[in-house]
Amino acid sequence: MYIHKKGYGVIATVFTVMALIVVVAIMLLNAFLENTHWTILAGLIIIGVIVVVWAVSFFRVPTNRKITHEENAVVSAADGEIVAIEEMEEKEYFHDKRIQVSVFMSAYDVHVNWFPMDGVVSYVKYHPGKKLFAINPKSSELNERNSLVVKDAKGREVLFRQVAGVMARRIVCNIKEGDKAEVGKEFGMIKFGSRVDFFLPCDADIQVEKGDKIVGQVSVLAYLK
């Protein structure tokens, strides 16, 4: 495991803010109280350590996973929980009915995103938007989001969408159309709470159920026909 480079600035900022809070607390306690209240200071330090550790863990990147390479498989691009499996009209790219499978990432999950299949990136589009809770079904169409489509060697396409949540402040994706996609290879991340939606052909063989815990790079969401 290592810490993602996108987290260095955030972690440094969190550490600095928490350190300043402790220093200011010491100054105020010394100024207005005869005896320093070590219990209060200990509490602040413990809270500060917890916040810093959480910030570090948020940007962790696992390195010991065995990436799933299976023919026709669509592998999860994110860690989290399956919160939706439903047939719906995909209005951005396909303009037809698709099976939407949504993976919700809590603030405690790994937030790196990986390609779910091999192929070529045939579509990339970023959309600014609202900050609804990512677990809200409407967030897929209304929130800040970034859509990508990968076409495999057989011409089959899958759209997957990074959706920012109420806590999210930035979607990271440095992929462009024409780039090569490799299953399990990182293509971006979403900072602080989010979801990834997958839009699969209606005849895809879905392998997950609502409520399932999913591991990115490992869990198979579906097999394409």
Q: Is the pLDDT reported for residue 218 higher than 80?
A: yes
Quick check: is 18 in a domain?
A: yes
Q: Do both 176 and 95 map to the same domain?
A: yes
Quick check: is 67 in a domain?
A: no
How many domains does one find in the chain?
2
Q: Is the pLDDT reported for residue 136 higher than 80?
A: no
Quick check: is 131 in a domain?
A: yes
Q: Do both 170 and 92 map to the same domain?
A: yes
- The H or E element that residue 52 is part of is helix 38-58
Residues 186, 114: contact at Cβ < 8 Å?
Answer: yes
Q: Which of 76, 94, 41 is nearest to 212 (CA)?
A: 76
Whether the predicted model's global pTM rises above the 0.75 cut? yes
Catalytic pick among 102, 140, 147, 194 = 194
Question: Mean pLDDT, to the nearest integer, of 193-218?
Answer: 94
Q: Do both 185 and 144 map to the same domain?
A: yes
Active site residue 194: yes
Quick check: is 171 in a domain?
A: yes
Quick check: is 66 in a domain?
A: no
pLDDT at residue 151, rounded to an integer: 97
Domain of residue 147: give its range.
73-223
Query: Could you tell me where the beta strands, DSSP code E, fall in the chain?
Result: 2-3, 60-61, 73-75, 80-90, 96-105, 112-114, 119-127, 145-151, 157-164, 171-173, 180-181, 186-190, 194-200, 205-206, 213-214, 220-223
Q: Do both 116 and 193 map to the same domain?
A: yes
Q: Is the pLDDT reported for residue 130 higher than 70?
A: no
Quick check: is 89 in a domain?
A: yes
pLDDT digits (tens, 9 = 90+) for 17-68: 777 877 777 777 666 666 656 677 777 778 878 877 776 766 777 788 999 9
Contacts of 92 (CB under 8 A, 6+ apart): 125, 147, 159
